Structure 1
Amino acid sequence: MPTRFNYDRLAEMLGQYDMTPSAAEVQGMLTGLIASGTAADSEELMTLMTDLAYDGNPLPAELKHLLQQQAEEVQASLSDRDMGYQLLLPEDNAPLADRVQALAGWVQAFLVGFGVNQANVGNTSGDLREALDDMVEISKLEFDVEEGDDAERAYFEVAEYLRISAMMCFTELGRHEASSSENNKTLH
C-alpha cells in the first residue's frame, strides 16, 4: 500500500505549525487512538489530537487536514489484508541513534493514544495483553546505541514487533469499533 507521508516530509510539514511531537510520535499517537477504537474520520479523534499533540490550542485548518489525511492513511493501512501498516520512522540510511530515538518516541506516543481507550483492554486476548505489556517495557528502556550489524538487527526486530502489535491491537479493538460505528451510520 503506497503511503502519502514519509518521515522527513511529515516532520517538515508539522514543523511549520510548531507541533511539539515528532512525526513518529504523531503517527504513534494516531495509531494508538485508531487501533484502540477511535474512528479516523471522527471529530473525537481531532479533539483528542488537539489535546494530546497541540497543547489544547485550536488546530489550524491546514494542520487539521494534514492530521485527518494521516489518520485515514493509518486506518486504511491497519485494515490492509496484506499487512501494509508501517511505522513512520527515519529512513534506513539515517543514523541508528536517530532511528532508535524515533522508535522510542513512536511507542511512547502509541501508548498515550492507546491509553485514551484503555477500558477496552479487559476484553482482549492474552497475546494482545502480553504485547501491550511488552510495549510498556520497551517504552521504559534507555537505549545505548552502538552502530553495527547486531544493533541494526535488534532495531529492525523491535520495529517489526511494534508494527505487528499495533495491527493486532487494531484487529481486536479498532476494527470492531470501526465496524460498529459504520453499522450505526447505516441504521440512521
Structure 2
Amino acid sequence: MSDGQRFHELDDALTAVGGETGAAEAHGLLCGMFCGPQEPEAARWIAHVLAGASAHGDAARGCLAALTEVYEQTRAALENEALEFQPLLPADDEPLETRARALGEWCEGFLFGLGVAGSEREHLPKEAAEVVNDLGQIARIDPDAGADEDSEQAYTELVEYLRVATLLVRENTATPAANGESGPRDRLH
C-alpha cells in the first residue's frame, strides 16, 4: 500500500468515528511523541487522536486497527537504520492546496506531540531547537498560495525537510533504548 493510500485509509477511518484529528495531524502527533524521552504507548497516542470522537461498532474497530497499524509502521520506520521514515501525507497527485494544508497539520501535530512527550523546546540542543522553530513556521503554511512549478518544488523540499527534521529531533531527544541503542548517552531528560 502506498503512503497516499495509507493516508486516505487513516483519514477515512478517523472521519467515520467523528474524529476531530485528521490523518496528517495524527501522524505528526505520533512522530512528536516518538521524539520524547520515552517511547510512547500506542494507547496514549490513540486516546489523544480520538479525543472528542464517538467511536462505536465496526467504525471504531476499523479506526483502531488503522491507528494501530500506523503506530507500528511509524515505530519501525523511525527505528530503521536505512532512514526510510516518511511523514504520512496525501499522495503527490492530490491538489497542492490539500497537500499543503496536510503539511501544516502534520507540523502542528508534531509540535503538540513533543509537548505531550515532555520534550521542552528550551531544553533541546541548539540544532534540534532550530528545527522545532522551523516546524512552527511551516505549521502556518498558506495552503491557498497558488499552485505552480515553484510551489510544487517548495512543497517537495518541505516534505524532505520534515523527514530529516523528525529524524534529527528524535536523534537528539529520544532515549538510547527508543533509538535502538544500548548504554548511556547524553539525552534530554
* Shared fold (TM-score, shorter chain, > 0.5): yes
> Displacement, 1:39?
2.0
Rate the CA distance shift 1:171–1:5 in 2: closer, same or farther, 3 A. Answer: farther
The match for 1:146 is 146
TM value normalised by structure 2: 0.79
Q: Distance in 1 between matches of 2:172 and 2:8?
A: 31
User: After alignment, is 161-170 or 115-124 more displaced?
Assistant: 115-124
* 1:53 CA displacement: 2.0
In structure 2, relative to structure 1, the CA distance for the partners of 1:175 and 1:63 (3 Å cut) is: farther
Q: How does 1:1-188 map to 2 (within 5 A)?
A: 6-40=6-40, 42=41, 45-50=42-47, 52-55=48-51, 60=60, 62-119=62-119, 121=121, 124-176=124-176, 178=178
Distance 1:61 1:92, change over 3 A: closer
- The share of aligned pairs that are identical, in percent, is 24
Deviates more, 1:124-133 or 1:168-177: 168-177
Q: Which amino acid aligns with 2:105?
A: G
What RMSD over aligned residues (CA atoms) do the two structures have, in Å?
Answer: 2.9
Deviation at 1:49, TM superposition (A): 3.3
**Kept after mapping to 2: 8 A contact 1:96/1:145:** no
The 1:17/1:76 distance shift into structure 2, 3 A limit, reads same
> Could you report, residue by residue, the CA deviation over 1:38-89 in whole angstroms, capped at 9, with x for unpaired residues?
425x3xx423431x32226796555334323211211110111111111111
Name 1:186's counterpart in structure 2: none
Provide the rounded CA distance (Å) in 2 between the counterparts of 1:89 and 1:38. 25
- The code of the aligned residue for 1:24 comes to A
Paired letter, 1:67: L
The offset of 1:145, in angstroms, is 2.2
In the alignment, structure 1 segments of 5+ residues that lack a partner are 184-188
Check whether the contact 2:114–2:120 (CA below 8 A) recurs between aligned residues: no
Q: Which has the higher helix share?
A: 1
Q: Is the 8 A contact 1:36 1:174 kept in 2?
A: yes
- Secondary structure in 1 matching 2:87: coil
**Which SS does the other structure have where 1:55 is aligned?**
coil
Structure 2: unaligned runs, 5 residues or longer: 184-189
Secondary structure, counterpart of 2:178 in structure 1: helix
Change (3 A) 1:133 1:118: farther
Query: Residues 17 and 38 from structure 1, CA distance in 2 versus in 1: closer, same or farther, beyond 3 angstroms?
Result: farther
**Number of matched pairs:** 178
Whether the aligned pair in 1 keeps the contact of 2:20 and 2:52 (CA below 8 Å) is no
Normalising by structure 1, we get a TM-score of 0.80
User: What is the CA–CA distance in structure 2 between the aligned matches of 1:170 and 1:61, rounded to whole Å?
Assistant: 31
